[in-house]
């Protein structure tokens, strides 16, 4: 009988890694051992129960880029067949294997693992640089120097020159309209002055008649 098969295969273990994580059990031992996955701001932490094993019994590898492969083996104890006699032999022996795919933001090159009291702790640092975007980015457009844009400053461009020409035309038209209006006002004022002069002449004649 394989290691952990008696301990864990008798119950329907809910695996939170199914779907997101890919598991491929080997022929001898299923991967249905307890595993916790905790995510912190800086790392993914996996805790796996491997009772009765030491770190020398466990092998941890990364396959195909981001597939974490965990295998363990408890070998048969050597005994002296001539002098030793077994009355009971219930502890499981054999091999165990489990593998799952790490998240996309895992720093595979910085994985660390430790083993204490039959619990394997795997710490996978996170790399969130792909999810972060710079708040400011300077974009340079290739081509003529006049067409370059840097930051928020704008250099002259063909469209800018066209806009300037249109603005000049508007200013010229406004100046001509203003000059025409001034000429009309001057003509009106001259006409009024002539009428006033005639009015003054009429007043003098009237005053002479009344004397």
Radius of gyration of the chain (CA): 47
- Judge whether 26 lies within some domain: yes
Tens-place pLDDT, residues 91-147: 667 788 888 889 888 888 889 999 888 899 999 999 877 655 455 455 555 555 444
- Judge whether 162 lies within some domain: no
* E-state strands within the chain: 35-39, 43-49, 58-63, 67-74, 94-101, 112-116, 119-125, 149-150, 153-154
Q: What is the pTM of this model?
A: 0.46
Question: Which comes out higher in pLDDT, residue 196 or 13?
Answer: 196
The two structure tokens encoding residue 135: 């708040």
- Judge whether 108 lies within some domain: yes
pLDDT (0 to 100) of residue 33: 73
Q: Spell out the alpha helix ranges (H) of the chain.
A: 5-8, 158-209
pLDDT confidence bin for 39, thresholds 50/70/90: very high
- Judge whether 145 lies within some domain: no
Domain of residue 92: give its range: 5-77+88-125
**Are 117 and 179 members of one domain?**
no
pLDDT confidence bin for 66, thresholds 50/70/90: confident
Number of domains, the chain: 2
Question: Which comes out higher in pLDDT, residue 146 or 50?
Answer: 50
pLDDT (0 to 100) of residue 199: 75
Residue 30, pLDDT > 80, answer no
- What is d(CA 137, CA 30) in angstroms, rounded to the nearest whole number? 51
The two structure tokens encoding residue 82: 């001539």
Tens-place pLDDT, residues 77-87: 666 667 777 77
**Are 12 and 111 members of one domain?**
yes
pLDDT (0 to 100) of residue 167: 63
pLDDT (0 to 100) of residue 15: 41
Domain harbouring 93, CATH code: 2.60.40.790
- What is d(CA 111, CA 16) in angstroms, rounded to the nearest whole number? 21
């Amino acid at each position: 009988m394989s290691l952990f098969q008696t301990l864990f295969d008798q119950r329907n273990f809910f695996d939170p890694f199914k779907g997101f994580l890919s598991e491929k059990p080997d022929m001898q031992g299923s991967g249905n051992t307890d595993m916790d996955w905790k995510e912190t701001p800086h790392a993914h932490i996996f805790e796996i129960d491997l009772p009765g094993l030491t770190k020398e019994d466990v092998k941890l590898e990364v396959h195909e880029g981001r597939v974490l492969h965990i295998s363990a083996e408890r070998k048969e104890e050597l005994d002296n067949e001539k002098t030793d006699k077994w009355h009971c032999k219930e502890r499981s022996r054999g091999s165990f294997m489990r593998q799952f795919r790490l998240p996309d933001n895992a720093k595979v090159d910085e994985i660390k693992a430790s083993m204490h009291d039959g619990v394997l702790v795997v710490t996978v640092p996170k790399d969130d640089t792909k999810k972060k975007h710079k708040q400011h980015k300077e974009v340079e457009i290739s081509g003529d120097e006049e067409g370059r844009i840097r930051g928020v400053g704008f250099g002259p461009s063909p469209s800018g020159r066209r806009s300037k020409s249109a603005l000049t035309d508007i200013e010229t038209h406004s100046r001509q309209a203003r000059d025409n209006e001034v000429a009309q006002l001057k003509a009106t004022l001259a006409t009024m002055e002539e009428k006033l002069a005639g009015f003054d002449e009429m007043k003098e004649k009237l005053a002479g008649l009344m004397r």
